[in-house]
A and B are shown apart, each in its own frame.
Chain A
Amino acid sequence: MSLPFANVKRSRKLENTIFASIILFAYQMIFVERDSVLMILFNDALVFGAGYFWYLYLSEFVNKKINSPLTVILNAGILNAVLFFSIAISSTFVEGSQFQALKGNFIFLMFSIFVLFVFICVIGYIFSTFKGLTFLRQKTESSKYFNTLITFLIIASFTKTIVLLDSDLEFVHNTFFVVTILLIAINSIKVSWIAFLVKKQKIYLLIIAVVLSVLFGLNYALFLEESIIVTALNHFSPAFTTFISLIMIYGAIYFGIIFFTALFHLPTAEAFDRKAEEVTTLMDLTKLITRVFDFKELAETITTITTKICNSDSAWLVTKNDDKFELNSVFNIGYVEAEKITNYVLTKFNYKIDEVLTLDNSSIKVEIKNDIRTFNFRSLGVAPLRVHNRTNGFLFVARKKEMAFDDDDNKAIGAFGDYAAVALENALLIEENIEKERLEKELDVAREVQKKILPNVTPQFENLNVESLFIPAFEVGGDYYDFFELPKDKLGFVIADVSGKGIQAAFIMAEVKGIFESLSKLIESPKELLIKANEILKESLEKKSFVTAVYGVVNLNTGVVNFSRVGHNSVMICRDSVVEHFTPPGIGLGLDYGEKFTNTIKELEIKLNYNDIFILYTDGIPESQNANHEEFGYKRFEKVITRNCNKGLRVLSNEIIKEVSTFSKDCSQHDDITLVLFKWKLNNKISGDN
């Protein structure tokens, strides 16, 4: 329920307040003597109206500060003290009975109107303080009680005026007065905000409450006496005077209850403070977890906080790394000591600690630098760092003196352990992500290197058609092919596959390219060239790396091909629609650097006939797999060649790739695919005839 004029801007409220005050002032000036009860009632209504607007305006200030209730209470108390002193002092100068005599005096009139406004203002502030406190930190709806209270406050006040009409009606006023006091008592119980104060504030509140309760009581007592101010107020508005009395009673009761509540809350204040601190720290930790990526830094925060919250002497955090436990951060204990104690405890429980564990009165003997030292702990807590039913580490908390860890401590240790577990998991995930990104960057570099190494254009000759095709795998596979135009109308060619993948393979490829490019100009025989290449690679190739290759030279005038194979797949020649494999012996480059390599390698010489197709490829083609892990194999390979051997080389290579990709369509490409095709286009017989 929203009150009228309550939901307007503050400046507007001030205008309303001033307007209402001016009307009241004018009414007071014009009708100094108010004889009829109706006029008095109208006057009361104006006073309450002005009071209401003052209340609305002052509530703005109170509500702004209501979250620090002590300040608001103190303000209300000071204002109340001002009322008390002004009434008390005024009564020492002038007796209430002299009022009738002074009534006609203009200066006195102005003064008493001023006093009236001061009271309206102060009561407005105090009332809004009460209202603010009643609703502070209330979880359940309590406005119903408070609104009833307000209604009765007003009725009790106005019935006082009606009593003027007929003193027999006194009992009506008294009834409402008593009911109002009952309602005040009910509303005064709403003091749950006290629980949220820290211990120091509670003690402070205790003192203020007792002073204020007494002060409000005294003020009420003063209103029963006939002091000049009270008489003047009574003359201006009997209803308002009653209202003030009720507010004073309200204050006395309310602060009395606050006093006792604060008193009863004192013993539990410390525990409550700790819980509240725990909650705030956990909230801070949550923020930290999402912000700090460095686990070490977080671990330090966690050990420091745990030590503080659990009121312990030291704490340390160990995490599991590749089945080994690693100390991450220590607080108030040496690294070596923490490590030894950790080992002792974990071995004792066989590394199986699935929930928070506390060891009481344990003395742990550990050997440090040939010196046996004993650590006496009153209580030692261990919390596992568990995520998804995996234990990734442990949080240790140790207390040397005083009390053993209680249930609350255990819960706190467990909570911090859980947070550490989440933080650790988070940090690991981020690390993994960074690593993944790094690998992707690396692969980009590898692909770039490979692209630069492979020839941009495939050379073409009158007698020899050449076609090449390369499809890289996601992880660079290390395939390499190249052509070298040699003197005496010869063409050197190479196809190679470097073992391994990625950036490593790409660098070896670059080296292999250098070797073949320079050797092709120096050594004519493929066999000798490959022996030399193997010698050179000995210097740079890792033990576990090797390179398979076929190197050869075509005579562009005669169609004679000389080639050697080292560890590479067979060379195929398709002649008259029949595919034949040529696998001259040869050990892969890098497998052996001695005689065995030299003695094994053989060189083949083949004379190509018209329309013969010479086929070089890497294992990416026969070894490509389908979803059932079946390999494409040589049969399918040969079949597609035979079927298309009479077509152009471009068509043939496209058909081969089409066949391979249809076969392995449900599987990602594991390895690079390289295909190099030659077709001899000189009809030797005709040329022979010429």
Chain B
Amino acid sequence: MADFNVNVREVGVVNIIELKGYLDAHTAPELESAFNKLIDDNNYKVVVNFDELNYISSAGLGVFMAYVETMRENKGDIKFTNMKENVYNIFDLLGFPMLYEFFKDEKEAVDKFEDKSNDQ
């Protein structure tokens, strides 16, 4: 089985989830538990960094769909950054760019969150 790794780190009020390897039905529960932990700690502002992710399956996509509502209800969001072209194409085909914010760079996504929190 191809390996998969989730790493969570904090940048100010934002939590960055770094993904590595192959995200599919078998590895999705790892990402789910990372999201659950963030919600338990009341962290709703999430940036997912796809820099080292090579593949995502429909089950992997489903994880974001499952948690985005909770984040948004609590004035947070899930934003995507640093996606490889082949991974982005999958998101694009499904229509994710209509519903989620995508950034080239992690910093842009974090800034976007901070702008908003400053506004409030």
**Partner-binding segment picked from A278-286, A461-469, A585-593:** A585-593
The verdict on B108 contacting chain A, using a C-beta distance below 8 Å, is: no
A501 adjacent to B95 (CB under 8 Å): no
A569 to B92, CA, bound (A): 10
Q: Are A497 and B95 in contact (CB-based, < 8 A)?
A: no
Q: CB distance B62 to A546 under 8 Å?
A: yes
User: What B residues does A591 contact at CB under 8 A?
Assistant: 65, 94-96, 99
B11 in the interface (beta carbon within 8 A):
no
Cβ-neighbour of A600 out of B2, B55, B57, B95 (below 8 A)? B95
B61 on interface, CB distance cutoff 8 Å: yes
A568 to chain B, nearest CB (A): 7
Determine which of A567, A586, A590, A629 lies in contact with B55 in the assembled complex, contact meaning CB atoms within 8 Å: A629
Partner of B2 from the list A570, A596, A629 (CB cut-off 8 Å) is A629
Would A499 and B66 be within 8 Å (CB), given that A566-B95, A587-B95, A629-B2 are in contact?
A: no
* Nearest-Cβ distance from residue B58 to partner chain A, whole angstroms: 4
- Chain B residues, CB < 8 A from A328: none
In the assembled complex, how far is the CB of residue B99 from the closest CB belonging to chain A, in whole angstroms? 5
With a CB–CB cut-off of 8 A, which chain A residues contact B55? 629
Instruction: Type the 1/0 row for A593-607, where 1 means its CB is closer than 8 Å to any CB of B.
Output: 000100010000000
Interface size range on B against A: 20 to 34
Chain B, range 47-92, C-beta contacts under 8 Å to A? 54-55, 57-59, 61-63, 65-66, 69, 86
- The reply to whether the CB of B25 lies closer than 8 angstroms to some CB of chain A is yes
Cα(A566)–Cα(B93), bound, Å? 8
Contact partners of B96 in chain A: CB under 8 A: 591
Give the residue name and chain of the A residue nearest to B70 (CB).
A543
Cα distance A588–B65 in the bound complex, in angstroms? 12
Interchain pairs with CB closer than 8 A, number: 63
Contacts of B59 in A (CB 8 A): 499-501, 544
From residue B92, how far is it (CB to closest CB) to chain A in Å?
Answer: 9
* B65–A546 CB distance below 8 A: yes
Across-interface contacts of A629 in B (CB, < 8 A): 2, 54-55
Known: A629-B2, A629-B54. A545 touches B62 (CB 8 A): yes
In the complex, A454→B93 CA distance in Å? Answer: 25
A500 touching B95 by the CB < 8 A rule? no
Least Cβ–Cβ distance between A302 and chain B, in angstroms: 33
Q: Which of A500, A543, A570, A586 contacts B58 (CB 8 A)?
A: A500
Q: Is the CB of A543 within 8 A of B94?
A: no
Is A442 an interface residue, CB under 8 A from the partner?
A: no
Contacts of A339 in B (CB 8 A): none
Q: What residues on B are CB-neighbors of A543 within 8 Å? A: 62, 65-66, 69
Say yes or no for A242: interface residue by CB 8 A criterion.
Answer: no
User: How far apart are the CA atoms of A631 and B63 in the complex, in Å?
Assistant: 23
Given contacts A499-B58, A500-B58, A596-B99, A546 and B94 within 8 Å (CB-CB): yes
Question: Are A501 and B25 also in contact (CB < 8 A) when A548-B94, A568-B93, A596-B99 are?
Answer: yes
Chain B's closest residue to A543 (CB) is: B66
Q: How far is the CA of A670 from the CA of B62 in the complex (A)?
A: 17
Contact yes or no, B99 A592, CB < 8 A: yes
Complex contacts, B69 vs chain A, CB 8 Å: 543
> Nearest Cβ in chain B — how far from A624, in angstroms?
12
Assembled-state Cα–Cα distance A543/B65 (Å): 6
Chain B residues with Cβ below 8 Å from A588 are 94-95
Residues in A568-623 with C-beta less than 8 Å from chain B:
568-570, 583, 585-588, 590-592, 596, 600
B residues within 8 A CB of A497? 58
* Residues on the A chain within 8 Å of B2, using CB: 629
A160 CB to closest chain B CB (Å) equals 90
Residue of B nearest to A547 (CB): B58
CB neighbours (8 Å) of A586 from chain B are 95
The CA of A272 and the CA of B63, in the complex, are separated in Å by 63
Check if B66 sits within 8 Å of A544, measured CB to CB: yes
A540-566 Cβ-contact flags toward B at 8 Å (1 or 0): 001111101000000000000000001
Residues of A close to B57: CB separation below 8 A: 670
Complex alpha-carbon distance, A566 and B95, angstroms: 8
Q: Which B residues lie within 8 Å of A569 (CB)?
A: 93
CB <8 Å contact, B94 and A567: yes
**In the complex, which of the residues A499, A570, A629 has the most CB atoms of chain B within 10 Å of its own CB atom?**
A499
Cα-based distance from A585 to B92 in the complex (angstroms): 10
In the complex, the answer to whether B93 meets A567 with C-beta atoms within 8 Å is yes
In angstroms, Cα B62 to Cα A629, docked, is: 22
| B22, closest chain A residue (CB) | A629
- Cβ of B25: which chain A residues have Cβ within 8 Å of it? 500-501
Q: Which residue of B lies closest to A497 (CB)?
A: B58
Complex contact A596–B98 (CB within 8 A): yes
State whether A546 touches B61 (Cβ < 8 A). Answer: yes
In whole angstroms, how far apart are the Cα atoms of A329 and B96 in the complex? Answer: 51
A-B contacts, 25 listed (Cβ < 8 Å): A497-B58, A499-B61, A500-B25, A500-B58, A500-B62, A542-B66, A543-B62, A543-B69, A546-B58, A546-B61, A546-B94, A548-B93, A567-B94, A583-B93, A585-B95, A586-B95, A587-B94, A587-B98, A588-B95, A591-B94, A591-B99, A592-B95, A592-B98, A596-B99, A670-B57
- Residues on B lying within 8 angstroms of A by beta carbon are 2, 25, 54-55, 57-59, 61-63, 65-66, 69, 86, 93-96, 98-99
